[in-house]
């Protein structure tokens, strides 16, 4: 089973697909089942599934304590790209984020928090990997 990461934004993002050895991050529209289950969790107009270099959201998971581990170096691309994207998107609006196991879309949210993405770094306090977690990334002011 895979993690599924979703972001909500009022901006339309370019859709993409996974291409082995080329993709760091991509966005897909939701399936009808995902839309029905996830829509109540989000206030934003557009909700996207976020894929990574593993063809699913699992490649977005990273433990900051492994930052200097030589075996983990190739696993930093997609998480860093997500941080960069959130930094870019929060220049104009709050961004909503939800993570769950694939298929657990309709289960209740168990964790909520608000984050200023400018305070996040891959080597110190990366955030992806808590299931049933909703995060509001505050707009930068």
CA–CA distance from 114 to each of 122, 134, 135 (Å)? 17, 9, 6
96 has which bridge partners? 8, 136
Can you give the pLDDT at residue 128?
Answer: 85
Can you give the pLDDT at residue 88?
Answer: 97
Can you give the pLDDT at residue 36?
Answer: 97
Question: For the chain, how many residues are written?
Answer: 141
Q: Which residues of the chain have pLDDT under 50?
A: none
Q: Considering the entire predicted model, what is its pTM?
A: 0.95
Query: What tokens does 137 get?
Result: 């990334």
Can you give the pLDDT at residue 141?
Answer: 87
């Amino acid at each position: 089973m895979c993690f599924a990461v979703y972001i909500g934004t009022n901006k339309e993002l370019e859709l993409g697909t996974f291409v082995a050895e080329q993709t760091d991050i991509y966005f897909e529209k939701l399936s009808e089942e995902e839309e029905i289950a996830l829509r109540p969790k989000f206030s934003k107009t557009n909700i996207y599934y976020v894929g990574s270099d593993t063809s699913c959201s699992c490649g977005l998971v990273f433990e900051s304590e492994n930052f200097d581990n030589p075996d983990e170096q190739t696993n930093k691309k997609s998480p860093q790209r997500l941080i960069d994207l959130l930094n870019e998107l929060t220049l104009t609006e709050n961004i909503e984020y939800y993570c769950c196991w694939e298929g657990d879309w309709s289960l209740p949210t168990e964790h909520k928090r608000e984050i200023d993405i400018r305070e996040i770094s891959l080597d110190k306090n990366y955030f992806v990997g808590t299931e049933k977690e909703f995060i509001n990334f505050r707009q930068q002011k």
